[in-house]
Amino acid sequence: MGKRAAPPQQDPESQFGALRASLLFCPKCRQATPAQERLLLVLPTGNLHEYFCAQCGTTTGSRTDNDQNDAPIIVP
Ligand SMILES: [Zn+2]
């Protein structure tokens, strides 16, 4: 007797792994939607990119891209 460990289940979403990385939750669509990226602002400290929903255009996120290597990288 004794229980056997359940076999590892195939993750049905694994095939979308690459795609899922660009999915962001859209409050308007109420689901994760493909995110489009656009350059919003160019700042001395880095470029501000904005992500928006590919379906309705609602802003779903943003990030600052620090291209400059002048700033010292502080590693804790
Ligand atoms: Zn949307």
Listing from the earlier edge strand, what are the strands of the sheet with 59-65? 23-26, 31-43, 46-53, 59-65
pLDDT of residue 19: 43
pTM of this prediction exceeds 0.95: no
Rounded to the nearest angstrom, the distance between the alpha carbon of 14 and the centre of ligand 1 is 23
Rounded to the nearest angstrom, the distance between the alpha carbon of 25 and the centre of ligand 1 is 8
Rounded to the nearest angstrom, the distance between the alpha carbon of 7 and the centre of ligand 1 is 37
Rounded to the nearest angstrom, the distance between the alpha carbon of 57 and the centre of ligand 1 is 6
The whole-angstrom separation of Cα 24 and Cα 49 is 14
Work out the burial of residue 23: count CB atoms within 10 Å of its CB; fewer than 13 is exposed, 13-18 middle, 19 or more buried.
Answer: middle
Q: What is the mean pLDDT of each run of 10 residues along the chain (76 residues)?
A: 68 48 89 93 90 94 76 63
Rounded to the nearest angstrom, the distance between the alpha carbon of 42 and the centre of ligand 1 is 25
Work out the burial of residue 15: count CB atoms within 10 Å of its CB; fewer than 13 is exposed, 13-18 middle, 19 or more buried.
Answer: exposed
